[in-house]
Structure 1
Amino acid sequence: MRKRATVICRRGNRILLVARRTKWALPGGMLKRGEHLSDAALRELKEETRLSGKSAKFLFHHRGRQKHHHVFFCDVAKSAKPRASNEISRCRWVHVSDVSRLATSSPTKVIVKALGGAHRGKR
């Protein structure tokens, strides 16, 4: 099973999502050879949204059908504006309660649901 660093960026009750083609997903991607998971999380966040995470804090694992997601929380500057780059077409802040109604990957829905109140109220 392939390892994937998956990133949660949160501002109040909103999280950052990225779109590849028609589906929304959490930022993230596969590890490069010899790369640490937390480094991969920060690299993927920067590659996809041009945001620099201050750190990557491990939250939990999620085993999908094809990938093993290592989920990290990345804190970004409040004033930072995400801009789509690399392999994504769009990115935006989405209210957590709206994620279940969006066209997303199934791991995204499960991971966001599992978050629950893990970082509720933190900015």
Structure 2
Amino acid sequence: MHTIFVGDKPIYLTTEVDKEKDFKVFLLKSVDLPKVIRMLNRTDLKSVYLVGKKEHKLLKNFLKKLPNVIAGGGKVYNREGKVLFIYRNNKWDLPKGKTEKKESIEETAIREVEEETKVSGLEITRPLPTTYHIFKRNGRYKIKITYWFEMKTDYDGKLKPQTNEGITKVKWLSEKKIKKAMENSYANIKLLV
């Protein structure tokens, strides 16, 4: 099963579903995806299941339904074990951004963390789960596919938010502060944290 978020509401891609309760079920092959997105945004519906026949084709078939935006990001740890967070659009988030021409997804992730926070000396330690969410830009829905990496750094300099990207704060958060921040974050970030 795969999960794609519309705001904080999930669309689940699956091959089988139990009885409907507080969700709706549609066939992946024939679903009117913009209609489903509007339904999730405008009603108290909790989630949607899109059903396909073959598990290994669910995500591939779903991603064909809307334009894709590829991004890379990082969950960065410092020497004290604190995690680097940004504050944008009144929510706590992890630094991430879109790929640029001819760069690898790892290069994207490191560049975006550096640009959004001014943290340097980043080293990727392992890949993390990929997240998917739907957003609207210029009147069109798109799917953002974010490849995440756990990173470490010895950087102890000044943090500087990339204000032209709407980032108002950059902070190293301890485990206790992360719990509090997750009360005001995105569903896909909560999954990573």
TM-score (norm 2): 0.52
Point out the structure with max Rg over C-alpha. Answer: 2
1:74-109 deviations in Å (ceiling 9; x for gaps): 222242332212411111011234334321122111
When residues 91 and 55 of structure 1 are mapped into structure 2, their CA distance, relative to the original with a 3 A threshold, is: same
Q: Provide the secondary structure at the position in 2 that maps to 1:34.
A: coil
TM-score (norm 1): 0.77
More off after superposition, 29-38 vs 66-75: 66-75
CA–CA separation in structure 2 for the residues paired with 1:63 and 1:27 = 13
Structure 2 gaps of 5+ residues are 1-67, 135-143
> Does the Cα contact within 8 Å between 1:15 and 1:93 map onto a contact in 2?
yes
Identical aligned residues as a percent: 22
Amino acid of the structure 2 residue aligned with 1:44:
E
When residues 55 and 13 of structure 1 are mapped into structure 2, their CA distance, relative to the original with a 3 A threshold, is: closer
Q: 1:74 aligns with which of 148, 151, 166?
A: 151
Q: Provide the secondary structure at the position in 2 that maps to 1:33.
A: coil
CA–CA separation in structure 1 for the residues paired with 2:151 and 2:158 = 14
Q: Provide the secondary structure at the position in 1 that maps to 2:86.
A: strand
Higher relative contact order (CA closer than 8 Å, sequence separation 6+): 1
> Does the Cα contact within 8 Å between 1:30 and 1:40 map onto a contact in 2?
yes
CA–CA separation in structure 2 for the residues paired with 1:13 and 1:76 = 10
Structure 1 gaps of 5+ residues are 113-123
Q: How many residues align?
A: 112
Q: Provide the secondary structure at the position in 2 that maps to 1:35.
A: coil
Amino acid of the structure 2 residue aligned with 1:61:
P
Q: 1:99 aligns with which of 152, 165, 178?
A: 178
1:5 corresponds in structure 2 to 72
Q: Provide the secondary structure at the position in 2 that maps to 1:61.
A: coil
Over the residues paired in the alignment, what is the CA RMSD in angstroms? 2.0
